[in-house]
Structure 1
């Protein structure tokens, strides 16, 4: 993203035992001492602190100190979607990134003899013709072997399989939970197939492997991994129905199933991106015993995170499948966050005086709201067959939208916040003063601020009781420009913004008063948007998220 940037790497976690929050905090502190501009964290806290508000976990508080030092902090949203409130990065001083698909797809598929095509994954060559298929559990050398023993069908041991049956055929192997745990590997199954002179390998997914994102794995033999349990059933039904057995002994006389592998080495382009991936964690903020629901939009935005090519150490041992490889294709919000870290570096390079919040504002207000075809960005909502359960993405799915590198370098207007604003927010949480002092050595004064009143490039109101007015202050970092304000109101809410037109000179500020009035009660969030449109082409978008909870005997303003 930023080819000329300098990268500092701090080792805080280890594969063998993970690590401790104290190690991560020490790495953050060291980075701040070293004068870095941006911290990229593809990790999240593993638990909430007991007895205090969610925001007061050690890592988030260390990151607040980093923001105080002028560091822009990017964090992966987490791969715990698509459930609501599954976000693992929630503090307003952290820039939280969800994962989206891009247009480049390495599609691989299995074409069965009955003409059914089953999609799969695998960076593997294909086969020219349809080839007979033999399941590992039907090619055992010892007929007394228990075929229900899970490892038997995973093709991890060539010595238990009959080469005469496998040679020249496609070997069918089971992809079970043992692969997820690292107890079995694709690499070993390929070695088994090679030892038996198989023409290729087909992996079907065990129904117990749910919600696990399969990364396309390099294969030197023709191969494909069926990534859906339902599609795996289609394969097995065809295979089993094609077996010819002796009526008396039930022994297999002929393996009648045939298939070809299309191959997945060459990229295709779908032109349907971006879309929010099913595993990308969703907002709003997680429920907190101290705040119920915080008035903060998360994630902040989405970035490419699915099937991302990344440099890989050929001698690395983190994944057996990628040993010997210099690049790997990975998926997750951990791959999306570094995209934004690099783009933030470009923003910081162009605007050296920008605060962390200003950088975040430039990225957020300019984010794209539409896919490559001009339609709405879609969001996947289920683990199985995710493309069949899509709907237009809401701010709780995608934040402000898909990061737009070009627009972020010319935002026109920015919204800014500083350490003192975030401190006032924390001090507004009941009983927080001792915790704030413990972490920051700062004493809470009389000035506190609600989360909805932070000068963020979004507005979230988790409990709109009758009415509420908030303010946002924009700063013009471009030339003199005239703006008009437009908006779409969330369902069940009327919105008004004042002023609706303004001229703002370079370097000047403009305060916007945004009023929300509930028109009906609703327990579900509804969404809208405010757009600031300049006569010189600058556009700033602020997403709105509101839940109406009207109390009959109280008003709020």
Structure 2
């Protein structure tokens, strides 16, 4: 009986603690001490794990595994000794690129941890957003880079690109493995493949070599709706599939829409492998804590390139220096580990202070120039041709303009010049 009473008292105590502590949010806590990629020794019983740039780290080695477990245990010990059990939830331990963790807790608990020995920085989690056929020819790839890498049939061979985005649609022909030369075993890469929740089929096929999703922070924040979002690497809105196809999509994929041909599409490195790290979702975007976990995992898995069409909604508020935050610190460690990192500059501009890619150690990609000018024509009934720029190229002959078809104000105001019977729209 006394055990039941004690259990009830503990439960009541935890609930009271939650009420007193107030609303919970996700926080990222950065600890003192080096992560795996930059640890060069100094902790008794744990040999150095860092390697030179021309060396490859064995993430399965005893040294790496034991030091990673040491960091994770240190995170748990800090939480257990400073916070009441049941009043918080640890979501991730970061140990490969940064030394820290993500935890769902109250603002009072966050303030308490800020003053704890060994804690370097505590930052409330932020939301992130998505950043958004002829391009290979325009860039001169067929006569430039592709021949130096073995030609079109070998462009990107054995390179693994990690896409931290909204997932992948594996059935798309840009990611098919059966219509290309057979892919051999992927060197170095050790990532895992999740299965489709409905079909139980793997997302991987030889072209796609890794597929994982990260949503613990989104779930803790109450943003993830399982009735709308896919709790899997499946792409919910096409953004991730779009970026993956641009970078690594198969060559010679016909582009058809409503019976019209728009040429053939190709990725910039059509033989590269695709590794998917889903962190973005349809209704809300994503959260930094999930993004950092994905980046940390991708580098552990052995990607060669990280592609990030994702960024914060605004500059970080916890530091005056925009790139001194867990996200950009993780990217710095990724570069130190020999990974090439490319991030989109953002959706804003051309106004000042609209850039949301802050790391000086990565490649930030913004919109540039192109040679696309869709010139379309409007032919009137009297044979007069009006030319102008359209949003796309469209080969449709003699389609009546719906705006003028129903005798609206424009039609009545100019009936002596233009009538529905005399107008064709070639857009």
Question: Normalised by the size of structure 2, how large is the TM-score?
Answer: 0.32
Could you say which structure has the higher strand fraction? Answer: 1
Question: Normalised by the size of structure 1, how large is the TM-score?
Answer: 0.25
